[in-house]
Structure 1
Amino acid sequence: MIMFDQLTHRVVQAPMAGTSTPELAVAVCNAGGLGFVALGALDAQGAGRAIRAVRQGTGRTFGVNLFCHVPARRDARREAGWIDALRPVFHRFGAEPPDGLSEIYPSFRGNDDMLSVLLAERPDIVGCHFGLPAPDQIAALKAAGCKLWATATSVAEGRAIRQAGFDVIVAQGWEAGGHRGIFDPDGPDGRLDHAALVRALLPVGLPVVAAGAIMDRAAARAAMDAGAAAVQCGTAFLRAPEAATSAPHRAALSGGQTVMTRAISGRPARCLVNDFSGIDDAAAADYPLAYDIGKALNAAALARGHTGYGAFWAGTGAAVSVARPAAETVAAISP
């Protein structure tokens, strides 16, 4: 628990690829919380720059987060089918879909360049989403002195995290915004809320951080009463000036209605209801192949002034998010 004892406020800022920034992590850390910088959408050079930017802004403990998904299962027929399914939508905006799909976000598994950056920079905490790194990567990070965190959506995943030698489990409730951290997106999902998941994970024997629609002090206290060592908040920071949340995304938060969908990226993720979330996701290409064409569709729509195809990730508490500096959000949520 020592890493939590060092915090003035047991509020963890969720790493949100595309919206969380080094500036946001710095602001949270300097306010006495725990900031994270998302590396999943960055290459090794970009990751190094982001880590150094946080270090320049704060001397406090901070973390980084990586995607550890199984590489995409290539299926030419399925991919072509998904391109064809979205083709009429592209045509609405006078555009053509790409001819093929690419793995735009490589997994940390087997990513030697990213591992080299982490071993050189030695961030205090390395978090993992979608699964776990390879055993040799885990051993190298532990030898470098990094504390290891991983997201769990079930007790089985929590046990795997402990067996791998990790230090902390992030219990991601069904109500959480952004990508579901489930290891196998095609496997069973109990869809537990964060409080039930925290209670279920406590017997695993590691500190548990609660995540999922924690927007105020009352929710944070309830999570701590359930046994959480800290709370992780993402949606609560989306309106912070330090976040890179786009103007349309910020505006859409007030609507508050969210849905879990694979249509945007190929993996289940909770986003604000929009035109993209209304597309049937049953035949979506695998992650992150679907995200490749999803981004292309959003770009085509934006070129015509239409914002309904953005990846507006948010949890179920979106409607009560507040536009204020990150430091004020830390203080307002702190249990």
Structure 2
Amino acid sequence: MKDFEKKFSSKEKKEAKEKKKLLRKKDPEYTKAPKEINLDQMLFGVVVAIHYQHAEVQTEEEVKSCRIRAYLSNQLKQEKNALCVGDKVYIDPLEDVIVHVAPRETVLARSETLDHKKRHILAANVDQVFICTSLYHPTIKTTLIDRYLIACEMGHLTPIVLINKTDLAQTKEDDEKLKSFANIYQNLGIDVLCVSAKTQEGLEELKKKMQDKISVFSGQSGVGKSSLINQVTHHDLKTGEIVTRTKKGAHTTTTARLLPLDFGGFCVDTPGIKSFGIFDLESDQVQYYFAEIEANRNACAFTNCMHIKEDRCQIKKYVLEGKMSQERYDSYLKLVEEMRSKHKRR
């Protein structure tokens, strides 16, 4: 079955490329940007879903299936995707073709997995990001949370850490682990919600946070993003099971989608991820995105201190004194090393 799907997908992509070639031959202007577009004559809409050959766009009256002009893709060579969910666009009403993408006010983005020089935008023009994790199955990954926090700061978004599956806290040690993790981020002034899609613990508070906002749910596969959205909305998104051998989730959400909320606002359910690379970040810039380091880096003996092996480093002292969590410091070290390795490969 998987081989058939793979062949079908390859055939679909090949057919799409052939269609684009024909369009270029029939219409040489297809790939060229027009000198001027009269937006007053265009139809305004918001992208609610992206597919391989088209985008679903919500206009004032209906959802339209639209193509995107090739010149828009050519203008955004640094981007993996010319369009993303949440984009505000203008459509040629005669052809149902997207001819203009409005400047993005906010973005949630990461570096493309196979090409770190490209940016993969997950969503645009949203208010907040629920960084979804779970107590167990899969377990909490501080390093992943910290990368999301950096992406949120870069994209001018409000982050909220959302810990699902609190019903799995069966022992005192589990409760202490949950509290300790929540304290790390609450001490940084970041909202942390502890919820359970199974028992519905904390879901009313989650609903209040979502009301009249445009929210993105993002995180590892299997943490229960779709299950939580199903519980607090009228939607019925597909949910998956945890793989017994790895204790990790399988992908069930395959494309991001903007969903309306009956209590006001919208939410975006995004596909689960395994890794989250930071786009356009140098190794010596990482410290600026760790509040504990940024607030105290001038206390170090050397102005160019990287807080790794240097003598008289105040940050390392803070870690030993418990003023900065060991988990966050380890996350910082790992990200600095990753940025150094990435730039060596360029």
* Common fold by TM > 0.5: no
- TM-score, length basis structure 2: 0.27
Q: Which structure has more RCO (C-alpha within 8 Å, separation ≥ 6)?
A: 1
TM-score, structure 1 normalization: 0.27
Q: Which has the larger radius of gyration?
A: 2
Which of the pair is proportionally richer in strand?
2
